[in-house]
Amino acid sequence: MIMTAERTKNLLLAIFFTLVLLLRPGPGSAAPVIKIGHVAPPFHGQHIGLEHFARYLAEHTDGRIRCKVFPLGQLGGERSLAEQVQTGTLPMAVITTAVLSNFVPQVGVLDLPFLFPDRHTAYAVLDSPVREKIFACFPAKGFVALTFMENEFRDLTNSKRPIRDPADLKGLKIRTMESPIFIDTFKALGAEPVPMPFPEVYNALEQKVIDGQDNPLFTSILVKFTEVNHFVTRSHHVLTETVMIVNRDFWERLRPADQKLFRTAAYEAMIVNRAVNLEGELKLPRLKISIPAYIREKKLDYVELTPAQREKFRAAVAPIYKKYRTRIGPEIFDAVLARVREMQPR
């Protein structure tokens, strides 16, 4: 049978509308899965906190809001993740303040070296009104900040020598995060900073492209950095905080009730993250061994900085404080330092 032009047109229209009906989501269709990217390993408190976040939303919406968490930089390094969230190609990510400071400079105040003497002081700052001062800077850059999460207190490892004094770092190639304040800090300490995404660090250490790196000790052990770096210094020079960020346009499309659920889930994720990290400070759950026992077993050359040694490091990085007060902005900078001083014993 020969098809007329009119008959062909009608047939194509019928096929088109049939496809539209077949492809249209039905009343019971699930919404798209919300992807959340980060670079921490799956055993880390940050990832476990994010898994809790996803479960909370699924349980409190009967599966209407579903999230999938991608650890270990599966969706890209931190700078790439921030750019993806900013442009809206990724709805959510958790990114270190060090990398986020390239987009929101004010958040870099939390990366000042030797700022927090302990967790108690850090949480007194992070859970105070200072948080809202910092988070208010995010929307102008295309982000909404939901909560702080954390990596851990950072320590040093290297393959060359023990580090007890700033002079011991002179000339060492130390991997840093892709952050101006970290780069400037290690320059001030006499090292040669090498900015590098986290997933590339092990190979760079193994191939001697770099001499050392700074990460929480339990992370360095569990991702096997200490297999190629036998010198360990418990410096606790920075408590690396991360921020759970959401694309601003994505956030504004959420119902107010869902925004409230997101914030509650984020708060719970923060608590879970902190609890798991604190446990990791005391033992290494995956290896079923304490950190001191692991150090003895592996014969690591271990140094824990004394208060006097920490003061020498603090003195060496003093110019960083002066430089970044201007860059961060005096209001937030001074508010953070005032809260830190408030928490110190009199």
**CATH number assigned to the domain comprising residue 284:** 3.40.190.170
Q: What is the mean pLDDT of the chain?
A: 90
In a domain? residue 66? yes
Tokens representing 276 are: 């798991």
In a domain? residue 307? yes
Q: Longest C-alpha distance within the chain, in Å?
A: 98
In a domain? residue 18? no
User: Residue range 39-58: average pLDDT?
Assistant: 95
In a domain? residue 315? yes
The model's confidence at residue 272, banded by pLDDT at 50, 70 and 90, is very high
In a domain? residue 282? yes
Q: How many domains does the chain have?
A: 1
Task: Please state which of the ranges 12-21, 196-205, 268-277 shows the lowest mean pLDDT.
Answer: 12-21
For every residue of the chain, which 3-state class applies, written as one string? CCCCHHHHHHHHHHHHHHHHHHHCCCCCCCCCCEEEECCCCCCCHHHHHHHHHHHHHHHHCCCCCCEEEECCCCCCCHHHHHHHHHHCCCCEEEEEHHHHCCCCHHHHHHHCCCCCCCHHHHHHHHCCCHHHHHHCCCHHHCEEEEEEEEEEECEEEECCCCCCCHHHHCCCEEEECCCHHHHHHHHHCCCEEEECCHHHHHHHHHCCCCCEEEECHHHHHHCCHHHCCCEEEECCCCEEEEEEEEEHHHHHHCCHHHHHHHHHHHHHHHHHHHHHHHHHHHCECCCCECHHHHHHHHCCEEEECCHHHHHHHHHHCHHHHHHHHHHHCHHHHHHHHHHHHHCCCC
Domain coverage including residue 291: 31-342
In a domain? residue 5? no
Q: How far is CA 2 from CA 6, 11, 12, in A?
A: 12, 13, 15
For 20-34, b/e burial (b = at least 16 CB within 10 A) is eeeeeeeeeeeeeeb
The model's confidence at residue 19, banded by pLDDT at 50, 70 and 90, is very low
User: Taking 70 as the threshold, does the pLDDT of residue 29 lie above it?
Assistant: no
- What is the model's pTM? 0.86
Cα separation, 85 vs 96, whole angstroms: 14
> What are the pLDDT digits (tens) for 178-213?
899 999 999 999 999 999 988 899 999 999 999 999
In a domain? residue 26? no
Between residues 224 and 27, the one the model is more confident about: 224
In a domain? residue 16? no
How many other CB atoms sit within 10 Å of the CB of residue 127? Answer: 11
